[in-house]
């Protein structure tokens, strides 16, 4: 199904049960993200940012409402179809990097392509090209514990984009790195967005990310508070 939107949320709510108390993390939210956007979800802790990313990324399911990715209703897909969608159409960048500690930088970046059964020679060409793009081609044999936080996040970005997903979901990607590394990571993501057309959706508390985003979606108590497009 063709659609101008990569992501559509239609009257989406998410309720968690904490003991005898129901917590509404997201409250009847409508949201649409177009191809090529460089957008950020902002708001205080508990505003629903990460929950929204998790539902878009098919890591969580809404209590009510509909989440569509490239026109596909995630509620209607089988478990195996959801796994394939996460593998093939969504790139993830996490606050804690989530690299596999026993694998080298190259092997971490290659991981998704290996799951996709991409031929070895093509994998090598694509992985080395993206590692060159993120400035990590000289670190291919290093394991995560031999890399700085900023370097680990660059490998995580390489892993997220090497399979050419429809969208990259980045959950607080600058939270665990220093200011210089944060600026480098944001420069890299902007480059991938502008030159390669990669669509990014962030969740963030970081003013640096918010200032770079070309669309700032502000949330409070799981509801849309403001939606500002820049430029």
Task: Provide CB contacts within 8 A for 172, sequence distance 6+.
Answer: 50, 95, 202, 203, 204, 205, 206
Number of Cβ within 10 Å of residue 190's Cβ equals 15
pLDDT tens digits for range 146-160: 999 999 999 999 999
Higher pLDDT, 17 or 228: 228
Residue 72 pLDDT > 80: yes
Residue 99 pLDDT > 50: yes
Domains of the chain in sequence order: 5-229 (3.40.50.300)
Give pLDDT, residue 95.
86
Residue 134 DSSP code: T
Query: In whole numbers, what is the pLDDT of the chain averaged over residues?
Result: 93
Q: What percent of the chain has pLDDT over 90?
A: 79
Q: Phi, psi at residue 129, to the nearest 5°?
A: -65, -45
Q: How far apart are CA 21 and CA 25, in angstroms?
A: 12
Residue 2 pLDDT > 80: no
Task: Map residue 149 onto helix, strand or coil.
Answer: helix
What is the average per-residue pLDDT within 198-209? Answer: 93
What pTM, to 2 d.p., does this model score?
A: 0.92
Give pLDDT, residue 1.
41
Burial code (b: 16+ CB inside 10 Å, e: under 16) for 134-157 equals bebbebbebbbeebebbbbbbbbb
């Amino acid at each position: 199904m063709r659609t101008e939107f990569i992501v559509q949320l239609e009257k989406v709510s998410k309720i968690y049960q904490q003991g005898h108390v129901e917590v509404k993390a997201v409250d009847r939210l409508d949201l649409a993200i177009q191809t090529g956007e460089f957008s950020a979800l902002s708001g205080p802790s508990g505003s629903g940012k990460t929950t929204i990313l998790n539902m878009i990324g098919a890591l969580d399911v809404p209590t009510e409402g509909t989440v569509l990715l490239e026109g596909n209703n995630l509620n209607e897909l089988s478990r195996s179809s959801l796994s394939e969608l996460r593998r093939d159409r969504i790139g993830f960048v996490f606050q804690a990097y989530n690299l596999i500690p026993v694998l080298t930088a190259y092997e971490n970046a290659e991981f998704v392509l290996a799951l996709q059964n991409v031929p070895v020679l093509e994998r090598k060409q694509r992985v080395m090209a993206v590692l060159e793009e993120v400035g990590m081609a000289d670190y291919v044999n290093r394991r995560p514990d031999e890399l700085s936080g900023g370097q680990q996040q660059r490998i995580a970005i390489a892993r997220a984009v090497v399979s050419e997903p429809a969208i990259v979901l980045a959950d607080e990607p600058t939270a665990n790195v220093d200011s210089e590394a944060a600026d480098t990571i944001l420069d890299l993501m902007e480059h991938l967005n502008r030159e390669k057309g990669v669509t990014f959706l962030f969740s963030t508390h970081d003013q640096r990310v918010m200032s770079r985003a070309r669309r700032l979606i502000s949330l409070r108590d799981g509801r849309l508070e403001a939606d500002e497009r820049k430029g």
